[in-house]
Amino acid sequence: MESTSTKELQDQVKTHEAKIQELEEALNTKSLNEAGNEGKRDWSLGQSEDEDEADKLLGNLRSKDDDGNMCQIEELLADIEKGADLGPEISQNVAESFLKTISRQLSKESKAKLRETLKTPSNCKQFSPPKINNEIWKIIPSQARLQDVKQQQSQQALSVGLSALSIITSQVLIRKSQIPNEVVSSIVKLAIDAANVLGDQSQQVNSNRKMDLKRYLNPDFYNE
């Protein structure tokens, strides 16, 4: 009887040990699964549909169209950075006089006086901003008119600059016999280079004006 009881006791112990081992294995498996799920949750942050919709509303998601815009923006920024390179110093008096032009606003009276002084040469009428056809002007909304007028003002300022450069060049060439040739060449070249910059900007403003008008005249096309 004692041997039988001992054997039964040993069997029970083995059974209990086996169950304990199974329980430990089950607990270990559960821990591993939970750890794996936590890892998956970390990787899926921000990927839910609700969060995607929120990003869309907030403008955080980039569309395919943004790629083209970003390339254009990067090109423009690179072009601006190139223009930030500094050249040799000029006379301090000249520098101070010109720096004042970007540190203060002109009064209406001063602007009017400058327009009278810096009139567009009669054989350079193309400097002036182009006017919109009167029939089109009547049908576009007031907001479009206001926007176009502001763009015309920018073009008018560029026109004044072009007029001044052309007058300077003309005056120098008229008196070239009194001025060393290298000075004449230098001034004329600088004036033409500056005119190319202003002229290019005027063309860009003109293109923007045309594009804006097309949006107002054919909004359905641009909303597609």
The Cα–Cα gap between 55 and 65 comes to: 16
Whole-structure pTM value: 0.61
Q: Where are the domains of the chain?
A: 1-30, 108-224
In this prediction, residue 106 carries a pLDDT of 87
The Cα–Cα gap between 73 and 77 comes to: 6
The Cα–Cα gap between 141 and 213 comes to: 10
The Cα–Cα gap between 156 and 131 comes to: 12
Residue-wise pLDDT for 156-179, tens only, equals 999 999 999 999 999 999 999 999
In this prediction, residue 102 carries a pLDDT of 87
| Helices H / strands E in the chain, number of each | 9, 0
Query: With b meaning 16 or more CB within 10 Å and e meaning fewer, what string describes 193-224?
Result: eebeebbeebeebeeebeeebeebeeeeeeee
Spell out the residues 6+ positions from residue 14 whose beta carbon is closer than 8 angstroms to its own.
none
In this prediction, residue 3 carries a pLDDT of 47
Instruction: Judge contact between 163 and 119, C-beta under 8 A.
Output: yes
In this prediction, residue 47 carries a pLDDT of 46
In this prediction, residue 45 carries a pLDDT of 43
In this prediction, residue 9 carries a pLDDT of 59
Residues lower than pLDDT 70 in the chain: 1-14, 16-20, 23-69, 72, 76, 79-84, 220-224
The Cα–Cα gap between 209 and 125 comes to: 19
In this prediction, residue 2 carries a pLDDT of 44
In this prediction, residue 69 carries a pLDDT of 65
Radius of gyration of the chain (CA): 38
In this prediction, residue 34 carries a pLDDT of 52
